[in-house]
Amino acid sequence: MFISSFTDALRVVVSTILIYDLLILVLRISGKHVISQFSAIQFAVAISVGNLLATTILDKPAGLCA
């Protein structure tokens, strides 16, 4: 299970809120309001970034020596 304690749950909630806000900011700056305006490459990059964000939200932090 991904969430085993209150601190893990709190970390997931805070990370989700911060990353969602960052995503909205990037979309506002880029000026893309509708996914249909994306080119094929932009859509692929958006899917990849979404995967990275999901991994960042759900995985436990790891140090460089982990």
Average pLDDT over every residue of 55-61: 71
Assess whether pLDDT exceeds 70 at residue 65. Answer: no
Alpha carbon 27 to its chain's center: 13
Per-residue CA distances from 43 to 11, 25, 36, 61, 64 (Å):
29, 17, 9, 28, 31
User: What are the pLDDT digits (tens) for 8-47?
Assistant: 778 778 888 888 888 788 777 777 666 677 788 888 888 8
The pLDDT value given to residue 51: 85
Give residue limits of the domains in the chain.
6-58
Q: 1 falls in which pLDDT band (50, 70, 90)?
A: very low
CA distance 36 to 43: 9
Q: What is the pTM of this model?
A: 0.52
